[in-house]
A and B are shown apart, each in its own frame.
Chain A
């Protein structure tokens, strides 16, 4: 496995990086029992608050916690401002792209992206053609996954433009750190993130249908059995809006209503945490019990806003990802400020040959898939697994892309044996409405197994608090 990863805390010469210096000093003077006690305290607090996710197929009441690591991931303000402008640019381009996909198809006509990548994509929704959405915003809430390469350069690994989750962990992790180690916040000027629900509410209000003065906003959840239910309830509560399920809503007279104790009440904006497929059984999956019959007709008439918009998934598929830098040039006339990870597209013969020749060094990903499933990590794979992927790629090359094995950066993490470096990524949450805004930081996910590069919570990942530190020299 490639060991030339970027260490977040310690430089190549063994010196602690400047922005970790104060943390390192603190760590060296506190007794280990103190840390152990704080970790236990964090565990029981997370359980009591119920920051858990339901594990499908297990007994009722069996809810798991995503492990929380108490060593923060620290980002100096200078680095953050580059990430911030880069992501703002990227999300503006992605919004312009989705608008184009459902209007003039300029990018196809210009020959920048092949038509079949868009119109043959499972996430493409022909129902959206020529529908205008407020402010031309489609991806109101985006979670962009960023990693650092061996040289420490930030690059985008994946865009999540449908129903990205994890922001509640960003907020709860911070609350937990302040509660456990208030003294650390005296040493570091950490940018606060608690105002995220406020930003989100403001963002959702800004995209209400045109003629509505005081929009009624709701959060739409699949229900308490969903693995991200905690986050849905949390965000609704923090924004002070109703948390609804499909059965609480109904369409009457081209208007969307919710059933209340005082009769029907009109709904203007839905922050939906349900996939397109399940939104409206009349338009999409007829067997969906989660959706609202007739919702699409109200939506098409512009009488309700969905955040995120229907059909935005066309822009976050792995087959579209390689084209995002081209989109930035095409729509904004700018050079991308944050690069993509180098990506080989197997649909192109030359790139496919390269991939097949280097399977043991590459990460192969199936398009139309997420969460680390349908993926080959070459250096960690057995011969048999590699041969299986070779057969699969040859059978349907357009379904696969490949990337070099990333030497994801590593951050010190508490493990059974003490403190050891573990690989991390970062998911900032980008809000688009009247303007584009990002809460400083995001969710840092950490692969808790030694050497592992898979940070997904479903596969042994944990989380860390993420600090954007104003001026590390002052710490």
Chain B
């Protein structure tokens, strides 16, 4: 397929996935901020910092406050990762290749954007806020489902998958890292259970955790679930498995090194042990992981998308 088309399909799915994960991140932050604790604004600061957006935010809004962070991360068009920007970019990329994706896929993204344009700050408060985050998640589910249910299994489909899982790997790592952010409130024993619980819920893993471990929530197990479990669909390992497998399918004459690096990263997760990772530091491991997914992203662009 055309490189430019592949590029747009890839970014279309990355932005859709990112919008979903921003909604998930804000949702978990909102839940945590309801905990009876001091330094609530720290959660909001950490949510921004995990995405490298804290400085840009402070320049524009100053102190971290729930309404302003929500406005910045949902509606602000100056923010390249706000939900509004993501959904617009997803829609614009889809528009650029609407001949190469199914009508249903295009109409889903277009309708999502048309709805998003109507959202105002007044709808982003209290109970309506969680409702909005659910809406974003479900539009993303719908978009992915429509693509899965209607697309020919051609290269467009695989570039779409590649974008989805590379973005998801990045986002899950960031969500997990929020807890280790210097801006996050000091861990207090009373809140720990709820913080980990909120994190699990944000990646739809609370019920999965119970089914897998049938035991109390401990940080070690949460980390294992979100980093190493192959059967947890948002874990780093599950994402990298998809990325590696997809790269094998779309391989071309210059992509061997990219495929090798993805395979290496996948193998480390496949054969890694959580106690080894925790011993050398989860935060360090996540930082390394984010660097390597960014490297994969650059290599994918160079190999396939902008030759």
Instruction: Name A's B-contacting residues (CB within 8 A).
Output: 47-50, 61, 219, 224, 229, 232-237, 242-245, 247-248, 258-263
Contact = CB atoms under 8 A, between A and B. Distances in A.
A175 to B, nearest CB: 11
A259 B307 contact: yes
16 contacts: A48-B110, A49-B103, A49-B110, A50-B95, A219-B99, A224-B96, A232-B99, A233-B98, A237-B99, A242-B5, A242-B100, A243-B99, A259-B307, A261-B155, A261-B304, A263-B253
Contacts of B96: 224
Main secondary structure of the interface of B (DSSP, over half): helix
Contacts of A243: 5, 97, 99-100
B252 A50 contact: no
B40 interface: no
Nearest to B252: A262
Contacts, number: 69
B6 A50 contact: no
Contact of A244 (B2, B111, B252): B2
Contacts of A244: 2
Contacts of B304: 261
A259 B111 CA distance: 31
Contacts of A234: 98-99
**Which of A235, A243, A263: most chain B CB closer than 10 A?**
A243
A47 B114 contact: yes
A36 B159 CA distance: 43
B4 interface: yes
Given A48-B110, A48-B114, A261 B98 contact: no
A323 to B, nearest CB: 38
Given A49-B103, A248-B4, A261-B252, 10 more contacts: A50-B98, A50-B106, A224-B95, A242-B2, A244-B2, A247-B4, A260-B1, A260-B2, A261-B1, A261-B6
A49 B107 contact: yes
B88 to A, nearest CB: 7
B250 A261 contact: yes
B140 to A, nearest CB: 18
A234 B6 CA distance: 18
Interface of B: 1-6, 88, 92, 95-100, 103, 106-107, 110-111, 114, 117, 155, 159, 250, 252-253, 304-305, 307
| Nearest 7 A/B pairs, CB to CB | A236-B99, A237-B99, A243-B99, A233-B99, A233-B98, A261-B304, A259-B3
Contact of B117 (A61, A232, A233): A61
Contacts of B4: 245, 247-248, 259
Contacts of A245: 4
A263 B5 contact: no
A332 B155 CA distance: 49
A233 B94 CA distance: 11
Nearest to B158: A261
Contacts of B305: 261
A49 B102 CA distance: 12
A237 B114 contact: no
Nearest to B305: A261
Contacts of A219: 99
A181 B17 CA distance: 38
Contacts of B252: 261-263
